[in-house]
Amino acid sequence: MAKIKLKSSEERLADLGRIVTRKLKASGRAQIVEQNNLALYCVQDFMSPTECEELMALIDKGRQPSGLLAKHPDPDFRTSDSCNLSPYDPLVEKIEGRICTLMGIDPRHGETLQGQVYEIGQQFKAHHDHFFKNSAYWEDMAKQGGQRSWTAMVYLNEPASGGETEFPIAGLTVTPRRAMLVLWNNMQADGTPNPATLHAGLPIHAGTKYIVTKWFREKFWI
């Protein structure tokens, strides 16, 4: 009897990387920016102005101080507000479906769409979206779909000043543009974490920044 070899975490993540990359390149919609081992995929006008406004209203209803998976000694490390948006809301369901269709990924890999708000002075200092397997939280994350693969983020508005997304290792900075979707793979081609995905939400100098973010796991998220 032939033995069935189960894929490793790295193999699953490498597969997801190839599948989504191929789909994004074939879409004809994504502008690709590649530098220092990081590829960003940007899609302009991913949402309508009305959809952006409605999502901002949903975020305002549920916003609360953002948390972290692990304690951090710097109290100013993440100072935004955030909330998980109900997957049963018709608008949220539509936007999540649109993201998954563009990426060519099974929706069951996706975490709940999260909304975030940054007021003047608020920020999220340099961090990775992928998980660290030597962290105390990893045991729980491993049971809930495992490692994070892709990040999909949409700017819902444009702050008057500040609020850029900076990738310091890659040497790239993204200026918020309303309704622009930005995607990146948190893994390298071999399915191991990509250090170049280190990124920060820079402080807001004037105005407010609203975004929604959806993360995807190597297995179906629970």
28 in a structural domain: no
Q: E strands of the chain, at which residues?
A: 31-35, 38-43, 64-65, 81-84, 114-118, 124-127, 148-155, 161-162, 165-167, 172-174, 181-185, 199-201, 204-206, 209-217
Q: Report pLDDT for 2.
A: 58
Distance CA 212, CA 114 (A): 5
Q: Are strands 204-206 and 81-84 parallel, antiparallel or unpaired?
A: unpaired
Q: Residue 199: its pLDDT value, please?
A: 98
The residues of the chain scoring below 70 in pLDDT are 1-4
The pLDDT value given to residue 82: 98
With respect to residue 21, please indicate whether it lies within any of the assigned structural domains: no
Residue 207 region, left (φ>0) first, then alpha (ψ -120 to 50), else beta? left
CA 205/CA 120 separation, integer angstroms: 5
In a domain, 80, yes or no: yes
DSSP symbols for 30-52: -EEEEETTEEEEEETT-S-HHHH
pLDDT digits (tens, 9 = 90+) for 203-222: 999 999 999 999 999 999 97
Question: Integer distance in angstroms from the first to the last C-alpha of the chain?
Answer: 33
Domains: count for the chain: 1
Q: What is the pLDDT of residue 1?
A: 57
Q: Quote the domain boundaries for residue 44.
A: 33-65+76-217
Residue 1 lies in a domain: no
The predicted pLDDT at position 167 comes to: 98
Residue 84, domain member (yes or no):
yes
